[in-house]
Copies of this chain bind each other. A is one copy, B any other.
Amino acid sequence: MQQTQNPHTTHLTIEEIEHRLRQHGYRLTGPRTVVVDAVLRHQRPFTAEQLVAELSSGDDSIGRATVYRTLEVLASMDVLTRIVSPDGHPSYISGAPGHRHHLLCQVCGITVTFTACPMSELISTLADETKFQINEHTLEVFGVCPSCQAHQ
């Protein structure tokens, strides 16, 4: 199993992200880079509204719509991952390119990313048996990290 205990190791630099934006035909605007910057500062999952709050009262305040639009763009380019918890609340994790899943601490939000996905076998079996064309799946794991277990 591959793991990334330190989220930094999967983070892209701001230059790499700007390069990706250009590659995908997006313009490099001021508000966009402010949002990207803010996203990179987060090492734990954050919600769209958190980001809106952070960026709405600063010197260069960014509109709500722009924050949502930029998050969507970044997610579509695999710069960040949108994950939905069982209670239906979505949050974003920065630095998660490729096919990854997450183990989240329900107390402090710290995240372990893993690429081991036991789904491929299940999916081919399911496809065989049901003749479905299978497009996507959700798989996220929730629990309590050792540190939060100790402090309770």
- Measured CB to CB, the residues of A under 8 A from B are 1, 3, 82, 84-86, 88, 90, 103, 105-106, 112, 114, 116, 118-119, 121-123, 125-127, 129-146, 149
Does A140 contact B137, Cβ atoms closer than 8 Å?
yes
Q: Report yes or no: A141 in contact with B118, Cβ–Cβ below 8 A.
A: no
A126 touches B146 (CB 8 A): no
Decide: A134 and B138 in contact? CB cutoff 8 A.
no
- The distance in angstroms between the C-alpha atoms of A98 and B146, with both chains bound, is 28
Given the interface pairs A84-B86, A135-B106, A139-B138, the reply to whether A130 lies near B145 with Cβ below 8 Å is yes
- Hey, which chain B residues are within 8 Å of A121, CB to CB? 118
A122 touches B116 (CB 8 A): yes
In the complex, are the beta carbons of A132 and B114 less than 8 A apart? no
Chain B, residue nearest A1 (CB) = B125
Knowing that A112-B126, A123-B141 are A-B contacts, what are 10 other residue pairs whose CB atoms are under 8 Å apart, sorted by A's residue number? A84-B84, A86-B136, A114-B126, A118-B121, A119-B139, A131-B146, A131-B149, A133-B149, A134-B141, A139-B139
Q: How far is the CA of A42 from the CA of B133 in the complex (A)?
A: 24
How many whole Å from A128's CB to the nearest CB in chain B? Answer: 10
CB distance from A126 to the nearest CB of B (A): 6
Give A135's nearest chain B residue, CB to CB. Answer: B143
